[in-house]
Amino acid sequence: MKDLMQKAKSFIIFDFPLQSTYIDAKFAETHQKLQLEVPEWSTTATRQQLISNYWFTYVVGHFSLLFGLPALVFFFLSGGFQDIKGYLVSTLLAGLFSYVVLYLFHYHPAFYANFLPRLETTKEIYDRKQHNHIEKCRQTQLSNFALTLVFYVFEKSCGLNTLLCNDQSANLLMKLYGVDPGSLKKNLEFIYGKKKTLLPRKQTEMANRFDEAISYFEEMGFEKGVDILMELQQKLSYTEIKRN
């Protein structure tokens, strides 16, 4: 009963749609739902959707119940059937006046002073969480060259021997990893191209990339993959990488 009274009070004073917890939950729910329908749906579009909901769902619903329901009850109790036309005109004028007062002194100030700032905060927090999640995924993902080495190992293990230092192979890897084909082609040049003399810094970088790929196959327990990479590393004359 106490909870019901609290909800009724929250509705009457138009507090419910202004609560930060509600805005947070509604934003996440709306965004995830619409992204299923439109994968490119942005948080800016979700923000606009919630603003629309404020005016056309919350405000309209609040005013309709706050004014319309009492007007309907009064119509039946006062015998408005005798002069329906006059009752409707007076109700319309009273409703228009009431809405203007509520709009100027309640709906409009509440929107700009409470709802919109909290919505903007929710959007910024949501965007930041998404950005941090993407960055975390990027940090844990293997480097481009290590990804190329991983595919190289799988290709050699299957005996396909289809990879070459050309655009076709780079585009093939792009479809798998979603990485710029230009950088993938450079990786293939390191593996299949003519042997180049590398600066010490570049040798260290390549050794680290080999180490990433080797660690990946060691975690998988794929010893053959480790052997293939060790053989390739020796062939390219990079600094020797020790197995763990």
Question: Is 80 exceeded by the pLDDT of residue 227?
Answer: yes
Q: How many helices (H) and strands (E) does the chain have?
A: 13, 0
The pLDDT value recorded for residue 243 is: 44
Q: What does the buried/exposed string (b/e) look like for 81-103 if buried means 16 or more CB atoms within 10 Å of the residue's CB?
A: eeeeeebeeebeeeeeeebeebe
- Give the mean model confidence (pLDDT) for residues 84-96: 78
- Give the mean model confidence (pLDDT) for residues 32-56: 95
Question: Is 60 exceeded by the pLDDT of residue 100?
Answer: yes
Name the residue ranges covered by the structural domains of the chain: 2-140, 144-236
- Give the mean model confidence (pLDDT) for residues 75-81: 64
Least confident of 2-16, 103-117, 226-240: 2-16
- Give the mean model confidence (pLDDT) for residues 2-10: 67
Report pLDDT digits (tens) over 147-170: 999 999 999 898 887 888 888 988
* Residue listed under structure tokens 């390549």: 206
User: Which of the pair, 240 or 111, is modelled with greater confidence?
Assistant: 111
The pLDDT value recorded for residue 14 is: 86
Report pLDDT digits (tens) over 113-149: 999 999 999 999 999 998 887 777 666 678 889 999 9
Q: What residues contact 11, with CB distance under 8 A and at least 6 apart?
A: 62, 65
Q: What residues contact 137, with CB distance under 8 A and at least 6 apart?
A: none
| Distance, CA of 152 to CA of 165 (rounded, Å) | 12
Q: What residues contact 192, with CB distance under 8 A and at least 6 apart?
A: 163, 164, 165
Question: Is 80 exceeded by the pLDDT of residue 34?
Answer: yes
The pLDDT value recorded for residue 205 is: 87
User: Which of the pair, 88 or 213, is modelled with greater confidence?
Assistant: 213
Mean pLDDT over each residue of the chain, to the nearest integer:
85
Which residue, among 18, 186, 192, has the nearest Cα to 113 in the 3D structure?
Answer: 18
| Distance, CA of 109 to CA of 133 (rounded, Å) | 36
The pLDDT value recorded for residue 68 is: 80
Q: Judge contact between 216 and 146, C-beta under 8 A.
A: yes
